[in-house]
Each structure stands twice: as C-alpha cells, then as structure tokens.
A and B are shown apart, each in its own frame.
Chain A
Amino acid sequence: MKPPAKMSKPTSLFVIFFSLFIMSEAVFEDQVGKFDWRQQYVGKTLFAHFDSHSQSSNKLFLATDKNIFASFNSRTGDLLWRHVDKVGPEGTIDILVLHGQDALMVVGGGRLLRSWDTNMGGLNWEAVLDTGSFQAACFVAIQDTVKHVAVLKKAAISLHYLTNGHQKWVENLPDSDTVQYQAVYSGGEVEVYVLGVVPNSHLTIIAYSLEDGEIIKQRSVEAPWLSSVESSCVVIGQGVLMCVDPATLALYTLPIQAEEAPQFNQILLQVTPVQPRLEVSLGFQPVLVSSQPHPARSPISEFFLQLGPDHHVLLQLNADGYTIAALRDFQPAFLVSFATTGEKTVAVVMTPKNETLYVHAFLKKDDSVDYRVLVQTQDHALTFIQQPGRVVWTREEALADVVTMEMVDLPLTGTQAELEGEFGKKADGLFPMVLKRLSSQVILLQAWLAHLWKLFYEARKPHGQVKNEVTIETLSRDEFNLQKMMVMVTASGKLFGIDSKSGSILWKHYLENVQPNAVFKLIVQRTTAHFPHPPQCTLLIKDKDTGLASLHVFNPIFGRKSHIAPPALPRPILQSLLLPVIDQDYAKVLLLVDDQYKVTAFPSTKNVLQQLQEMASSIFFYLIRSDQGNLSGFRLRKDLSTERIWEVVLPTEVQKIVAVNGKRPNEHVHSQGRVMGDRSVLYKYLNPNLLAVVTESTDAHPERAFVGVFLVDGVTGRIIHEAVQRKARGPVHFVHSENWVVYEYWNTKSRRNEFSVLELFEGTELYNSTVFSSLDRPHLPQVLQQTYIFPSPITTMEATLTEKGITSRHLLVGLPSGAILSLPKMFLDPRRPEVVTEHSREENLIPYAPEMPIRTEWFINYNQTVARVKGIYTAPSGLESTCLVVAYGLDIYQTRVYPSKQFDVLKDDYDYVLISSVLFALFFATMISKRLAQVKLLNRAWR
C-alpha cells in the first residue's frame, strides 16, 4: 500500500525519477553478445615462458610493455587471464622468470617482487624490495631443489624464499659507486656469484654464501677491453664466463669459481682452428647466446655466437674449458634460441624475412624432438608455430594501442551498384534506357534465383556445417547500414580493417619506417557512395619532433594502397583541413598548411585548383600554437598563399591551452530550437565554425588554479564566450556538439569531479533563419551554464551521433573501471529548474539536483569492461534510432546504442502471425458482412 500512496502525492521529483527508470534501458540476458563484441589484448611481449610444469599443459605466460602479466591457451591463442598493472614506470615489469608453478616478477624498477600461481593466475605473495634500481634476478638452488630467488640491485643483493617471499638476507655490495654490478649467477652450489665491471678496467667477481650472505671470496680480474657484462658476457658449461670483445674479435673465458688471481684466457676468432673461419660483419657487435635449462645445474656448454645480423654460429666449449669447437654455421638466421626438456636440448634457428624479435622454444617429452615457437614480430603480432612450420594462431597485439579510427560504409553489392549506376548515369536516349532497365532487372532476377537456390541447398545440409563467415569478398552493406568497416590506426603503424559486426580482422597493412612518436590523422576523402570510384582514405603521418609529414592513401575496404601518388611534403605541416569541395572523381579536397603558411591541395588536379581559386575568399582556417598561447586565423588567397586576418593571444604566463575542439562535420541537428513551456521557441546558436578552447592555469595552487573555457569563432576570431571555472584543475575532458559544450574537471577545493554544461541560444528570434554566416551574426548568443557533481573520475567522453539528429543525445563516458556509461544529455541541461513549475514540467525538464547519478543499467558494456579505455568513437547507422559505438583502449568493444530506444524498429518478438491473422480475419469479416448486408438489402427490397 505504501509506495502508491507516495506516488499520488504531488512530489514531482519522484514521478520524474520513476519515469526515468522506465526510460532507461538495459541488456537482457539473451541479448548479451548479440550486437556487441569485445576483444582483449595485452600489448607487445617483453618476456614469454611456456608452462613446462606438466606434460599436457597448454599455457603461455607473457609479460608485456603495457605492464600486463597474462596467460594464453597455446592451442587457441585465447586469453586465459591477465593482470593489468598501473600505467607508467610504476608498473613496468623488469623481469619475469618461471619455475615450476611459480612465476616470479620484479615490478616497477625493482620496487616489488611478486610471485604468481601459474595455474590459476592468483598472487602467491608480494614483497617490497629495498630502494635501488633493478639489475638482475635469478633462481638459486641447493641440492637440486630451487628454494630461493636472488635479486641484484645497483648497490645490494638480497635473497628471498620462494615459498613466502620473506627475505633471507640482504647485503650491500662493496664499492658499488665505482663497480657496476650487472649479473648474478648460481650454478647449484652453495655460492651465489655477482659479476660487476669497472668499464675498461677490471671485472669483479664476488661469491656470497647462500646461508648467511657472507662474502666467501672476492676476485678482481684485469679486463681493459670489457665495458659491460650484461651485453657481452654469458656463463656456459661448468661455470665458465665467456665474453666477447668486438674490438679485437676475441672470445675470453674465465672459470668463475677459480681460486687465486685468475686470468682471462683469450681465443682469437681469426686464428681459431675452427672451420669455416669466423668473421664478424662490419660494424656489428657480436652477441653471445647461452642457456641454463635448470637453476640447479650448470648451463650447457653449447652456445651461439652472432657474427652479423643474419649470421649465427653454434659453438661448443670443450671439456678443457679453454678451446672451442664449431658445431654448425647458420646463415641466414636472424633469431636463435635454446630449449631443453629432460636431457635433451634443441637449438632453434629462425630465418624470417625481416621482422622478428623473440623466439621461445619448447620440447615435448615423447622421445621425439618436438617444438613450438612463439614469435613476436616488429608489427606487434604474436605468432605461435608448431612443428612442421604450421602457424597455429596469430594475435594482433598492435590493437592494444589504437590511436585513431574511422568507420566506413561497406560497398553495395554488385546488383545494388548496378541499380544505383542506372540512376547515376546521364540519360542517353529512351531506347538505351529501357534496355538498361531490362538488363538490370534480369540481373536482379538472377541474383534472387541464386539466393533461393543457395537457401534450398543449405537447408539440406546438416545444421552445424553452414558457415556464415565474413570474408572480404562477401562484404556488402546490409539493409540498415549497421555493419561497417572499422579502419583502425595503431601506434606501431599497423592499419587494420575490422568488420564491425563480428570483429574479425579483414585486412591489415603494416607501414614500415613509422617513427615511434608519430601522430596520425585519418581522413575519409571519398566514401563508398560514389560507386564506380573506390572509397579512399588518407592517413596523415606526422613526426612529432620535426613536424615532417607523409601521406598514405588507401582503400578502406580492402586495405590496398591507392595508386594515386600523394604530394611530396618537404616542409613541416601545421594544419590539415578537409574541404567540402570535391574534385571530378568525388574525392574531397584535403588542404595541408606548411610552416610558411603555404597551402598544398590533395588531390591537386586542374579542376580542384580552379575551384579553390573561385572559393578562395571564403576559405578560412585557424592555427593554434599552444606553446605561445596564440590562436590565429587565415584566409586563402587565389594563388594558394594565405593571409593572417585575426589573432588572439592567451598569455602563457597565466594559462596554457590544453585542448581545442570543433564540431564534427558529419553531425546533423534536426531541431533549430527548443519549445518552451509557454509555447515560445528558444533558438539554438548553431555556429558550425565554433571552437571550444580549454585552458588550464599555470598557477597550480588549489586556491588560485582555474580552468578556462573559451568559445571562439574559427572564421572571425571573435570570442563568443569566455568563462573561468575557479578552483579547478585538469585533466579536462570535453565534448563540443550542437549548441553545447560539456566539460569535466577536478574541483581542487571540494576535491571531487564536476561536470559543467554550457548551452548557447540565439534567443527567441533568429537573426537569419536561412543560412548561418560567421561574418554576419553581430549579436552574441545567450549562454546558460550549470554544474553538477559527478561521483567518479572519467577517462574519456564522446557524444552519440545519429543520422538525422532526431534521436536525443547521450554522452558516452569512459570510466577508469572500464565501464562505459551512457549518460542522457537530459541530465546535463542548464535549464534544469531549481523549482519545478508548470512550464518546466511541460518541457519535461528534470528538477536540478547537484549530484549526477550513475546507474548501473546505464553501463552499455554490462560486464564487458574495457581496460584503460582511451577513446570512444561513435558513428551513425542507417537507422535513426541506432548509433554505433566503439570503445578502444587496451581492449576493443563494439556495440550499438539506442538513446531514444528503438522507435523505428519492430521488436524481435513482434507477433507477425497474430497481427496478420487479425488483419485477415477482419478482412474476411468485412467481406462476409458486406455480402450478408447485400443479401439482407435484396431480401428487404423483394419484400
């Protein structure tokens, strides 16, 4: 009885809250994964280990540059579990070593030592290490059992128990200010050896007692040729240290355990009795590769010597410990590795064309030698190969770092294109037109019959066999344009074409020679709408330091590089802008402005240049130099030079520009104004040239810090609005769309995140209702603003986008938890009244509440969290109600959202049978009753 009684009271607050509850949408259990998918990635591998603990195990353990420790199923490449640590140096994985069921990891530059249970992926223990930068770590064994792990820091060595992480002992290293300690070695004896070097002077070997950390012996060996133990020395055989000297091309050996005044024994490569002669490639630093299969035993006496980028020699140290024998020469071979199982050791040599970085090998324990190899390539792909060179799976880990993306419509099918082509062509006589029509009808009929036949054929097959695989050949636009091609650009310079429906990678293209600090901008120059011409995308790759740029022009559907030659760009590029001007091939014109304010057009055909000359006086662009706080506007001249026409300077002593955002060019606003409670219209200020400029104060003091929001017209440079959020600090995330700007900042006084919304209105009358011109809009708009408390920090923000802009807007907010919140724009409305009135209720305004709610049913990705979400991309679909959303970060998540529910779609469970049977019944009923009425009339007439 209670709640209805409350409802009946005129507390509209509750009424509205309940109505919102009804409005909100959630995913039903059977809808999970129907329209959405998620792919999880880990990044580029730094360390990889195979699970050699049990025979049947199919596990791989990886530590990556994204500070992730992950486990894969080696049969399928599926992620079993992963641990995502902090971003940045605090979470970097220094080393990953595996023994039995324990995976040991040093994290954060020697800050933490962690032990993981490899079976379940749970944390066994964590130990905080003393300060000091990490150098090396190794397992220490006594009497064939591994009980300890030794961690070498710059100035100390510590020994920890493997079972609980407790520190057994820690010792300071002698003379750590002059000696660089770089390696730690244990061969199963009661000593732990630490190797240090004073560059170009001598080598220091210290043996510590395993029991109490006492120094047993300390030796110093003359080695004026040695600069680094790490890069040029390995331990092989029965504790023999082998170093290579690139200057004299000699190998040096030294028994580590040697007593009293040891000396390096020199083996000159040129004069070794080894055949063929070992010759080092010019300018190449030789590298030694060895293997210690078990920490309780000494390393094997075979080792690789790399003599050139593609030249390795397998050598063996003879039993005397002084001479070497060559076993085999490998050329070409780029990568080598050892793997051991039981008593057998295999050496793996790989000769890929140009890319690979890592190889890990593994032996099966049925007497035959079997191996599996994991290859990490330069393009961040991870490939798993089994014995006869068969690729089992490949993971595209480049997708863990997507920089930018676009969604491109899929092309029409051949038949659809045929029909389209008919309308596109110019009329050439009646008869040819009729013929053309007939032929296209025949083609349509043919396609339909083929479709029917296929249906019939597939119906006879058993159910599971019918595959619905998406391939690049079968790609075509669906009825509502819900399936699109996602073109993703990754930081490694690899481009991907992903089918948005299934998430399968349809094409990939690796751009070589992309600098690691390059910035990318992806531009769609021609969509699929211009049938005979293929769609065209252009990727602008710019080096951040030099500003020099290059263009990569490609077809976004097939990923093929276009044969159109991009212009040479000898000067640094400051700005790029896509004009609505199209050339005769329907490609939009891209203008590139260099540091001398000269403009390059692409494509630059005669037609385009002519059009540009005609339009020059109406082409304006802006440049922003955030380091100088300078915003300036330019106008194009007929000779493609430019003239500076306005300048706004925000002094850098006070505030610095952190972000500038215009509006999206493909955004449509359906309604010019808002109908208010009294039936008058409040017109929106819809300036397509408006820029939102966000600044942060240089003064970081919490009382004086502020965030500035400037709305600047990009054509005239007029400051439309200038607001200052006091006691606020970044990071500022903001969305600029329609007539509003929403930004989020950190309130330094109240220590909370806040959302603020700015809306611009022209007032109740429009100045010029037909066309908007920045040059002719003398009155400043009215600006309304409201601020709310948001109970969570955010990582990224984007607004939904639909084809015609009729559907209400939602904000998609990426939270650090990995959830994507779909926040109705209705809640961010500066006209929300403090006090509810008749008018505001008429307008459906929610009464003002200072706190913004977060409802769990607003999470569009339910439990499919997107780790480290970095960006959200929205694209309209063919259905007005539906907006396609891609969230990317470490993971990629694709889904559809319906901000105003699916008002233009019939439900899945729509009862077609019932509605048609009712219709038929009514139809027949009318027929029968009509007949009956006729009979009755006739009878009456006869009477």
Chain B
Amino acid sequence: MASVPRSFLLLSIIPTILILCADFACCNTGRKTGDGLDTDFSGFSVPLEHSFEVDDVSRFRMRGALQLRGGRETSVSLSQSQLSEEDRKTLKEVAAVDGLYKIRVPRVSLTDRQTERQMDGYLTAFVRACSLVESHLSDVITLHTDVSGYLIGVSIVTIPGACRGTEVEDEVDLEAFNTTLTIIAPTNAPQPETALFIERMDIEHEKRGKPQEQKSFFAKYWMYIVPLVLFLMMSGAQDQSGGGAANGGGR
C-alpha cells in the first residue's frame, strides 16, 4: 500500500472536499450608475436596499443596483453610490447604540425568462452596524439560489466581523463600500462511490497476483496421502507375507 504514489492520494481526497462553486464577480465602487449595463439582453437589474435607523424601525433606501445575468453561468455585479454625509452620520449613530444594518433584495428568479421574474416579498439579512463601521464598509454579500435559479437568501458579513469599539475618525473611510459579491448555487451531494471502490478492489486483486488456483484435494495433500497409502500397502503386504513368518517363529 505504501507504494501508492502521493499524487494519487491527493486526487482521491479532493473530490470529497466540496468546493463551493462560487462565481466571483467584481463590483463597481465608483459613482458609475451602470446605465449601459441595463441594455444587456440577458441581464437584468434588481435594487439592493439598505436600512439603518437609530430606533431600529426598518426604512429601506436604495443602496445600489444588482446586475444579474442568469443562464448557464450565473454572474452578478453591483453598482452602488457613495454614502451621503447624512447617511454616514446616521450609520455612526446606529453603530454607537449597537443597532443593525439591514439589507434586502427582492425575490427573483435568475433563469425564468417570463415576465413573472419577480415574486412578492424580499430576502433580508443584517449585520451589526458597528462592525460595518469598524471594517470601513468592507462587506461580503452572498446571494444564494436554489436548484431552479430562484434567489432564496442573502447574507452579509463584514471582514473583520468583530466590534472592538475602535473609533473611526476618518469620514473618508465611510464614503464608499468595498463590497465583495458572490452568488452561490447549491452543491450536488455525492453519490456512493461504488465504481471507484470496485476499481480499487480490482487493482488490489491484480497487485496481489492471481489467487492461487484451487488445487484438487489430492494435489493439496499428496504428501500425507502417499505415505499413508504406502504405509497401508506395506502393512497389508506384511500381514499377508509376514503372517506365515510370524507363525513360523518371528524374530
């Protein structure tokens, strides 16, 4: 077994580690509105809204627009504007009272070509406002789809994610979002690896060499049988020939 090359081992382990099939897409952080992208025949745009209030009552406002492109290779990009002076102030206030920063996107289907692409309702996620402030607005937004391409969930985390209470003095740090946007489709769970197992067993069998042929009973035990037969024959012969000799006086 030790002779199995190392590379083979690696190959066999990698498929069991599920790599999240994530399509990364870059995002625009500038003031570009992305009007040109709207004309893309296969893509469409949905609003990304956010809400951060001191009294924790959700009041969603536009944060940017998500450019979604469905089909075989789903991709997504985000165009968003900078935070206004007032927003920055509110965000810092919300962070100070440990409020929440919430985002939402409408429920849409990426593959459905029909007009009913959009369903009622939103998908919502949140992050603590203080961690958003302390990470200087660097957030990771992930969109999750199901097997048929419906958006089912959104999540937002900041990196780093902790609230250490460090003061963010520089207002410039809170101007533009530094967003990483990912879209994740479900992974296919593995099936039992029967084919590989059988293959491996075959290899093992071959390596061990052909199993010894089934020898016949006689072939296996001739070394016991022959002396036994010989002994019997000898003793029988002695009986017949030696009978008279014994009678005759023996030794």
Contact = CB atoms under 8 A, between A and B. Distances in A.
A414 B16 CA distance: 57
Given A643-B56, A647-B122, A778-B161, A830 B147 contact: no
Interface stretch (B24-32, B167-175, B181-189): B181-189
A717 B122 CA distance: 14
A787 B144 contact: no
B70 interface: no
Given A718-B157, A724-B187, A617 B192 contact: no
Given A722-B144, A783-B18, A835-B200, A850 B192 contact: yes
A784 B107 contact: no
Nearest to B153: A648
27 contacts: A647-B123, A648-B144, A648-B153, A649-B121, A655-B147, A708-B147, A709-B189, A716-B127, A717-B125, A719-B144, A719-B152, A722-B185, A722-B187, A723-B188, A723-B189, A724-B186, A726-B189, A756-B190, A783-B18, A784-B18, A785-B189, A789-B194, A834-B193, A835-B4, A836-B1, A848-B193, A850-B193
Q: Which of A718, A725, A777, A830 has the most CB of B within 10 A?
A: A718
A332 interface: no
B147 A637 contact: no
B186 to A, nearest CB: 4
A747 B189 CA distance: 12
A558 interface: no
A637 B153 contact: no
B24 to A, nearest CB: 14
Contacts of A782: 17
A79 to B, nearest CB: 41
A854 interface: no
Contact of A835 (B8, B100, B124): B8
Contacts of A635: 100
B223 interface: no
Contact of A784 (B17, B144, B150): B17
B76 to A, nearest CB: 16
A754 B192 contact: yes
Interface in A629-657: 635, 637, 643-651, 654-655
Given A643-B56, A723-B188, A850-B192, A835 B12 contact: yes
Given A644-B124, A645-B124, A724-B186, A787 B56 contact: no
B126 interface: yes
B162 interface: yes
Given A719-B155, A850-B192, A708 B125 contact: no
Contacts of A637: 56
Contacts of B140: 778
Contacts of A39: none
Contacts of B193: 787, 834, 848, 850
A645 B123 CA distance: 10
B189 A756 contact: yes
Interface of A: 9-12, 617, 635, 637, 643-651, 654-655, 697, 706, 708-709, 712, 716-719, 721-726, 747, 754, 756, 768, 775-778, 780, 782-789, 830-831, 833-838, 848-851
Contacts of B4: 835, 837
Closest 6 CB pairs of A and B: A834-B12, A648-B153, A718-B155, A776-B161, A778-B157, A850-B192
Contact of B161 (A777, A848, A850): A777
A651 B197 CA distance: 38
Nearest to A752: B192
Contacts of B162: 768, 776
A10 B3 CA distance: 11
A851 B122 CA distance: 44
A583 B36 CA distance: 61
Contact of A706 (B147, B163, B185): B147
Nearest to A754: B192
Contact of A787 (B9, B57, B122, B190): B190
Contacts of A724: 147, 186-189
A726 B192 CA distance: 12
A780 B126 CA distance: 16
A507 B189 CA distance: 48
Nearest to B185: A722
Nearest to A713: B155
Contacts of A709: 189
A783 B121 CA distance: 31
Contact of A708 (B107, B128, B186, B194): B186
B189 to A, nearest CB: 4
Nearest to A648: B153
Given A648-B123, A649-B153, A718-B155, 13 more contacts: A635-B100, A645-B100, A645-B102, A646-B126, A651-B150, A717-B124, A719-B152, A722-B146, A725-B188, A776-B163, A778-B161, A783-B18, A787-B189
A175 to B, nearest CB: 55
B188 A726 contact: yes
A9 to B, nearest CB: 8
A784 B16 contact: yes
B148 interface: yes
B232 interface: no
Contacts of B148: 651, 654
B209 to A, nearest CB: 11
B242 to A, nearest CB: 38
Nearest to B197: A850
Given A651-B119, A708-B147, A786-B190, A778 B124 contact: no
Contacts of B165: none
Nearest to B126: A645
Contacts of B159: 778
B219 interface: no
A734 to B, nearest CB: 13
Given A651-B146, A718-B155, A787 B161 contact: no
Contacts of B131: 775-776
Contacts of B127: 716, 775
A833 B146 CA distance: 30
B198 to A, nearest CB: 9
B119 A723 contact: no
B14 to A, nearest CB: 11
A836 B104 CA distance: 48
Contacts of B230: none
Contacts of B56: 637, 643
Contacts of B204: 11
B20 A775 contact: no
Nearest to A749: B191
B13 interface: yes
Nearest to B3: A10
Q: Which of B159, B185, B194 has the most CB of A within 10 A?
A: B194
Given A651-B152, A719-B153, A786-B16, A778 B200 contact: no
A786 B18 CA distance: 10
Contacts of B100: 635, 645
B136 to A, nearest CB: 14
Contacts of B13: 833-834
Contacts of A783: 18, 20, 187
Nearest to B15: A834
Interface string B190-217: 1111101100100010001000000000
A648 B12 contact: no
B93 interface: no
Given A647-B124, A718-B125, A719-B153, A835 B9 contact: yes
Given A649-B121, A775-B131, A776-B162, A834 B155 contact: no
Contacts of B192: 754, 787-789, 850-851
A10 to B, nearest CB: 6
A649 B107 contact: yes
B97 to A, nearest CB: 10
A833 B150 CA distance: 36
Nearest to B145: A722
A716 B125 contact: yes
A654 B119 CA distance: 14
A788 B162 CA distance: 40
B2 interface: yes
